[in-house]
Amino acid sequence: MKNIDAITNLYARKELNFLGGQARFDREHENKRILLSFANSIQERDIVTYDHSRRVGTYAQRLARYVGWSRRDARDLALAALVHDLGKTWIANDILLKADTLSDEERKTMERHPLIGARILIGCDVHPFYVETVLYHHEAWDGRGYPSGLKGEEIPLSARILTVADVYDVLTSQRPYKAALSKDAARERLLSGSGTSFDPMIVRAFLNLLDSEPQFTLPQRICAIPAVAKPAYHAASSARV
Ligand SMILES: [Fe+2]
């Protein structure tokens, strides 16, 4: 894993060069275009992952705002969340959609998805913020996560926020291999992972947010982030449904 870390570090240093005015605007616009285009590709490949990613984006954005991020930074995190599982689009269906428990070999294949997603994004020259967030969204606070085994604050804050939002949505969603947990049961699972899987400060903030907003949990297939605009041919063909 050291290679990918070296790549993103180098990339981050390159990005530190100041971009001002129009150049910065153009760069942000290009990032957004690329990320939304990847979100479209996830939607075409796997609607469950796409819907999950949209809900995670909403949760992560609200959580980021709650812990004091600017509107703009929180929006960038929502964009990263939309493509956090981009690497899964390259995992075979017999693993991706398997209803039974994954074998060790299959689990290892599945655990490559943050790295695959990050490599795709690096290839498109998007800002390192998005690359890091995607790459590290399965790291754990105690260092037992993957792909790099980063620990505590070594893990970028964006990824620590995304992890909590991601896990909450997985817990409260139905999947081929599991039933959906209630909000209270999911709350307990997050609490039990605080300090081991998750940053305790982020868990505390998330639970406060959950408690203060009774309608916080989004229904399946509905989400606050607007749907990614479809190309014209898609809109026309969908009229047959
Ligand atoms: Fe993931």
Backbone angles phi, psi at 172, to 5 degrees: -90, 5
Distance 67 CA to ligand 1 centre (A): 22
Distance 99 CA to ligand 1 centre (A): 17
Distance 238 CA to ligand 1 centre (A): 29
Higher pLDDT, 11 or 108: 108
Give tens-digit pLDDT for 102-142. 999 999 999 999 999 999 999 999 999 999 999 999 999 99
Residue 99 binned pLDDT confidence (cut-offs 50, 70, 90): confident
Distance 233 CA to ligand 1 centre (A): 30
Residue 27 binned pLDDT confidence (cut-offs 50, 70, 90): confident
Distance 237 CA to ligand 1 centre (A): 30
Three-state secondary-structure class, residue 175: strand
Distance 137 CA to ligand 1 centre (A): 7
The yes-or-no verdict on residue 205 having pLDDT over 60 is: yes
What is the predicted pLDDT for the residue at 16? 44
Helix residue ranges per DSSP H, the chain: 2-15, 21-45, 47-66, 71-82, 93-96, 104-110, 113-123, 128-135, 157-171, 183-192, 200-212, 232-238
Distance 56 CA to ligand 1 centre (A): 11
What is the predicted pLDDT for the residue at 11? 52
Contact 127, 31 (CB under 8 A): yes
Distance 19 CA to ligand 1 centre (A): 31
Distance 136 CA to ligand 1 centre (A): 9
Distance 114 CA to ligand 1 centre (A): 6
Distance 211 CA to ligand 1 centre (A): 26
Distance 49 CA to ligand 1 centre (A): 9
Distance 66 CA to ligand 1 centre (A): 23
